[in-house]
Amino acid sequence: MTTLLITGIVLLLLAIVVLLSILNDKANALSENDPEATDRKYKRVATWLMVFNIVFLVACFWSAYDFKNYMLGYGPHTAASEHGPEIDSLFNITLFFTTLIFVLTTFALFWFSYKYRHRRGHRASNLAHNTKLEIIWTALPALVLTVLVVKGIVAWNNITADVDPSEQYLEIDVTGQQFLWNIRYPGKDGHLGAKDFRLIKPGVNELGQDWRDKRNLDDFMADEIVIPKGRKVKFRIYAKDVLHSFFLPHFRVKMDAVPGLPTYFVVTPTTTTEEYRQRLSNYPEYQVPSDPEDPNSPPLWKAFNYELACAELCGIGHYSMRRVVRVVEPEEFEAWYNKQKSYYFENIRFTEDDPYRNELLPFEVAERKADFINRFNNAYNSKDEAERIIQLRNVHFKTGSSELTALSRYELDFAAEAMQSHPEIQIEVAGHTDNVGNPESNKTLSEARANAVMKYLMKKGVATDRMEAKGYGQDKPVASNDNAEGRQKNRRTELIIK
Ligand SMILES: [Cu+2]
């Protein structure tokens, strides 16, 4: 229905225009011999053009004024970063000059068409050259541009200055790819680990982190950017495929992400997300529902979030390159930061991609050792026979064999050490299996495994006559053999203090 109405109105307007032009032609034909009528006609046209000019300029200013509270730099949208006001003031200086020139030239354009309209007895004069004019309209823009450019360069050098290595700052690594941002934080060591594009493995190692660089081990990935208010943040900006652009509009941060050419931007946020929301709440524009379809949705100011966008049209899914940015008080940041989990320990540790899969890291050795000594002492001090058993939780064998896995050595070393510091005790090394397979061969296997452990302890200096190896096969389960978890518990090696 609406389409039909609009089509009807357009057709009607077209008919009116055609009719008017026909009438105009007829009137012209009549007045051809009446010079006064011609003068009147040109004056009328020139006057209406002047009216248009004034209405147009007023409309321009009115619209800018009306929308000011939505625009960055005005109303509630003063910059949320330390360097932001400098960019805004540069922008305003540029805007002042361009507005002035815009008004003057627009006005001159229409004024000339009015003043020099066709009139009887007036002839156009031919102005071929005027040196004075040439100098004025070359020198003036040159001067203005020089001021703008010099001010711009000085500001740009300030804004894009790198951090001083001696100062405190938080480093965050952002990598654009079609169509998302990878956000990486340094862990507790405060340093981001090395990357190499040749190590990139989709779904496993998206950034090509080199796990041999220990600084990588505590790095974590985040799905939003969280930064503490008042802290200097250095964003290291990368791209994996095409050009992207790292754009934080509320902080006046914008830097291209270029494949093969790392860039950076240093910014100090000055306003938390919550403070920015409070600021917005003072303006009627932000009291409307955030979802126009749902009148009960929270008002715009409450739903506000800073955001990271990609400012480079990088492909069909470009729009989805949005991430929420949260600026919080330093204490809240610490709480969030401490909750994050290292990517390496969550996803890489002990997998085939882990260069340290056959060894324990120093802190892991310390943790396991403390745990073992604790369990050993409990067993040692207990009078109850059933409690004088120490399970070797981290001693494992290759499937169906009595060959110890590489990581078993740590717990066996702890055991050997404990035996040596308690020379009076005797132990039994007991091997157990689950109930899969033949009971006889299970017994043989458990014996072989107990012997392997004993041999290892011997090699570490524990006297042979202090130990006895026994294989129990599947006879002494500690859990149900009906599920994988239970069977795993049943396949075990124990040290029993006699
Ligand atoms: Cu992009």
Residue 197 CA to ligand 1 center (angstroms) comes to 19
> Mean pLDDT throughout 43-66?
93
* Exposure string for 162-187, b = 16+ CB within 10 A, e = fewer: eeeeeeeebbbbbbbbbbbbbbbbbb
170-348, which class in CATH? mainly beta
In Å, how far are 44, 120, 171 from 234, measured between CA atoms? Answer: 63, 71, 5
CB 428 within 8 A of CB 498: yes
Please tell me the pTM assigned to this model: 0.77
* Beta carbons of 442 and 402 less than 8 angstroms apart: no
**Integer Cα distance of 433 and 451 in angstroms:** 14
- What pLDDT does residue 247 have? 96
Give residue 229 CA to ligand 1 midpoint distance, Å: 27
Strands 427-432 and 492-497: antiparallel
Query: What is the whole-number distance in angstroms between the Cα of residue 321 and the centre of ligand 1?
Result: 6
| Centroid of ligand 1 to alpha carbon of 252 (angstroms) | 18
Ligand 1 geometric centre to CA of 241 (Å): 9
For 210, the enclosing helix (H) or strand (E) is none
The reported pLDDT for the residue numbered 339 is 93
Q: 349 C-alpha to center of ligand 1: Å?
A: 31
pLDDT at 43 over 70: yes
Q: 323 C-alpha to center of ligand 1: Å?
A: 12
Secondary structure of residue 466 in the 3-state scheme: helix
Report the percent of the chain where pLDDT is more than 70. Answer: 99
> What pLDDT score was predicted for residue 32?
67
Q: What local confidence, expressed as pLDDT, does residue 222 receive?
A: 93
What beta strand segments (E) does 117-199 contain?
170-177, 180-185
| CA of residue 325 to ligand 1 center, whole Å | 17
Instruction: Please say if the pLDDT value at position 244 is more than 80.
Output: yes
Rounded to the nearest angstrom, the distance between the alpha carbon of 243 and the centre of ligand 1 is 7
**Confidence category of residue 300, pLDDT binned at 50, 70, 90:** very high
Instruction: Give the Cα separation of 273 and 132 in Å (integer).
Output: 55
List own/partner pairs for 360-368 with CB under 8 A and 24 or more apart.
360/407, 360/410, 361/217, 365/410, 368/394, 368/410, 368/411, 368/414
State pLDDT tens for residues 426-450: 888 889 888 888 888 888 888 889 8
Query: Class of 362-497 per CATH?
Result: alpha beta
Which pLDDT tens digit goes with each residue over 144-171?
A: 899 999 999 998 998 888 888 888 899 9
31: burial class by Cβ within 10 Å (0-12, 13-18, 19+)? Answer: middle
- 76 Cα to the center of ligand 1, angstroms: 28
Using the mean position of ligand 1's atoms as its centre, give its distance from the Cα of residue 316 in Å: 10
More confident residue, 4 or 1: 4
Span from the CA of 267 to the centroid of ligand 1 (angstroms) = 21
Distance 451 CA to ligand 1 centre (A): 61
- Whether 12 has a pLDDT exceeding 70, the answer reads yes
User: How far does the centroid of ligand 1 lie from the alpha carbon of residue 318, in Å?
Assistant: 5
Identify the H or E element spanning 494: strand 492-497
User: Looking at residues 65-80, what average pLDDT do you find?
Assistant: 93
Q: Which two tokens stand for residue 195?
A: 């990357």
**Mean pLDDT, rounded, of the chain:** 90
Confidence band, pLDDT 50/70/90 cuts, at residue 31 = low
Q: What is the mean pLDDT of residues 403-431?
A: 86
**How distant, in Å, are the alpha carbons of 77, 82, 414 from that of 70?**
7, 21, 67
